[in-house]
Structure 1
Amino acid sequence: MSVERIEHPQGVVELRLSRPEKRNALTLAMYGQLVELLNAATEDSDTRVVVLSGAGEAFCAGNDIADFLNGASDPTQLRIIIRFLHTLVDFPKPLLAAVQGDAVGIGTTMLLHCDLVIAADTLKCQLPFVRLGLVPEGGSSLLITQRLGQRQAFELLIEGKPFGAEHAMQAGLVNQVAPETELAATALARAGALAALPPEAVRLSKRLLRDTQREELHRVIDTEATLFAQRLGSAEAQTAFKAFLQG
């Protein structure tokens, strides 16, 4: 399995991307695993907090391009990615992320749906959608613009400039920065503290924070996905992907 489920004390469950040799680039099968594991965590009364993490030097290098392009020949296969994003939006329990090294594309946009993000000082985010002939995904066109305003969102989403942990914290994408050697312990400590709070009060409070724009976010994710799928067949995207695979 490329996604590990690790149980920690106090009802903390870690879902670890475990494909370090590929910098945890996501395959369609891994998306399916994540959906299943998140749904199971929703139903499991013993699970109070979920932590997303990545094995090795990178959190997530985005989609596995070869697997992604193979799936693109049958668009129904790509629906699992959209289902994953909607699952993140609707996840009712605290969702944390512990991130280090590269967080590219969806490796960054999934962080927008986490309640707390703890980053190593080695974090390097990038949203290279336009460079690949595509458009933003994961609700990022809404959420990043809300956080930063249109001009800074333009820099990140259209120019695709990489940015590190401190910039990510200033942009409201990260709550805390820690040395990489302390990342796991720091994230698990915060997860444990959350797990110790009254669980129903936590879930209801999260719902209050999230519900005001939940429907809008689902709609934006679907709109982005429609445009994204259209762009996959474009000459611009095909050229960019070919250059990526050859480079």
Structure 2
Amino acid sequence: MCFAGGEGKISVSASDASKQHSRLKNSPWATWKDPDLTGNEIRKKRRKEIKRTRERGGWVWCTPVTLTLVFRFPVAQVHLGRPTMRASQQDFENAMNQVKLLKQDPGNQVKLKLYALYKQATDGPCNVPKPGVFDLVNKAKWEAWNSLGNLPKETARQNYVDLVSSLSPSSEASSQGKRGADEKVQESKDIVVTSEDGITKIMLNRPAKKNALTFEMYKEIILTLKNASTDNSAIAVFTGAGDYYCSGNDLTNFTSAAGGMEEAANQGAVVLREFVNSFIDFPKPLVAVVNGPAVGIAVTLLGLFDAVYASDKATFHTPFSHLGQSPEACSSYTFPKMMGSAKATEMLLFGKKLTAREAWAQGLVSEVFPDSTFEKEVWTRLRAYAKLPPNSMRISKELIRNNEKEKLHAVNAEECTTLKARWLSEECINAIMNFVSRKAKL
């Protein structure tokens, strides 16, 4: 079976065609049997009957071996192939269950077609009144169903099964193998990216290292956000594996650099600036699900998120002065703005650690949940958010954030320049060496 031509027509087998031909020849509109009509009159009448049949979405006879079903469908055509056998009721039920397991949203056009084929397969031709002009959702559903005309239930059932099969993970495997290098980040063991229910979930996955960030993870997250900005998801969510959300930078980034501290500082400043810019420029709602302690850049980045949900076991710590460093991720601007200069100073200069409740009181966290119900409550809410109109959320975020983008980019550049100098300072080098030495003794 294949789609072809203008609005789409499905060719069927010769055996099916012969059966339809037999029925058609004996039908009341088989005008070529009327002895009172001339050849031209027969041809004209047949053309009119064919046109009317097409408008109704019915069967149109073409030749003794080809029968076509023409239906006007107001959405994108999906190209399918199927065997001549009909799908059983069990196949149909399996396909309905398979739809619930799809990991990626197939889009509104495909969902409309699934709805129309389901209704046609179960209820037959559209038999309900057309919804009002302002009932846009139900009107779109009605038009999709009505466009199938008199398509037989068995054919609709088979088409539904075929369409679901084309959306299943097995059929996507070959296309996944063709993805470009931009999506290789999905295969990283340290960053696990999944897409489900309209949510791109980005999980830091180094629980043995408390999800500390390596330079490679920085680069992977940059690429992940780039992909997530254009995928089918409505929102993006960061979280951590294990007990920690993220313990900040893996300080061995500096000690293990091939070119020494200076090379590490140069490379780190470039990567950090691009990394933070990817958060500043991310166009969709960005949510942090802080499942445990957060340290350093895992905390300072929160000022660039649109919502931050924390377990009551989470803590927030920015020990920059203890490590001879300075604020990053625009926190020198976002923290005073969120919590006031005095509270921001306590965190950024003196390294005060906040509990989840304190972070909420100071505006760093949107809401705190009991750890026992944290995952269930937060993800239920996020799935509801992901069902909101995505373009509306994008536009609203632009209105909220765009006026500050230029400022944030300037702050990020200045912070990275300052950090590069701090990383090469004696204070910072000694602090890092002492930290690594203490770790080695544990």
For residues 236 and 299 of structure 2, what CA distance do their matches in structure 1 show?
Answer: 17
Alignment counterpart, residue 154 of structure 1, candidates 345, 351, 369:
345
Contact 2:339 2:364 in 1 (8 A): no
State TM-score, norm by structure 2: 0.54
Alignment counterpart, residue 230 of structure 2, candidates 35, 43, 54:
43
Match of 1:62 in 2: 248
Contact 2:272 2:416 in 1 (8 A): no
Match of 2:195 in 1: 7
Which consecutive unaligned segments of at least 5 residues does structure 1 have? none
Amino acid at match of 2:397: K
Match of 2:126 in 1: none
Matched, 1:16 2:203: yes
For residues 35 and 208 of structure 1, what CA distance do their matches in structure 2 show?
Answer: 24
Deviation string 1:142-167 (CA, Å, 9 cap, x unpaired) is: 00011122211111100001111001
Matched, 1:28 2:215: yes
Alignment counterpart, residue 177 of structure 1, candidates 342, 357, 368:
368
For residues 69 and 217 of structure 1, what CA distance do their matches in structure 2 show?
Answer: 30
For residues 243 and 271 of structure 2, what CA distance do their matches in structure 1 show?
Answer: 26
Q: Displacement of 1:124 after TM fit? A: 1.0
For residues 342 and 225 of structure 2, what CA distance do their matches in structure 1 show?
Answer: 34
For 1:64, what is the secondary structure of its paired residue?
A: coil
Q: Displacement of 1:76 after TM fit? A: 4.3
For residues 68 and 192 of structure 1, what CA distance do their matches in structure 2 show?
Answer: 39
Alignment counterpart, residue 134 of structure 1, candidates 307, 317, 325:
325
For residues 292 and 382 of structure 2, what CA distance do their matches in structure 1 show?
Answer: 21
For residues 227 and 233 of structure 2, what CA distance do their matches in structure 1 show?
Answer: 9
Out of 85-94 and 174-183, give the one that drifted further.
174-183
Amino acid at match of 1:152: K
Q: What is the Cα-based RMSD across aligned positions, in Å?
A: 1.2
For residues 281 and 430 of structure 2, what CA distance do their matches in structure 1 show?
Answer: 36
Aligned residues: 245
User: Percent of aligned pairs with the same residue?
Assistant: 36
Q: Displacement of 1:187 after TM fit? A: 2.5
Deviation string 1:128-147 (CA, Å, 9 cap, x unpaired) is: 11111111111000000111
Q: Displacement of 1:101 after TM fit? A: 2.2
Out of 164-173 and 191-200, give the one that drifted further.
191-200
For residues 202 and 328 of structure 2, what CA distance do their matches in structure 1 show?
Answer: 22
Q: Displacement of 1:7 after TM fit? A: 2.2
Amino acid at match of 1:77: Q
Structure 2 counterparts to residues 212-227 of structure 1, below 5 A: 212-227=403-418
Structure 2 counterparts to residues 94-113 of structure 1, below 5 A: 94-113=285-304
For residues 56 and 98 of structure 1, what CA distance do their matches in structure 2 show?
Answer: 13
- Between Structure 1 and Structure 2, whose CA radius of gyration is higher? 2
For residues 186 and 36 of structure 1, what CA distance do their matches in structure 2 show?
Answer: 29
Alignment counterpart, residue 428 of structure 2, candidates 232, 237, 246:
237
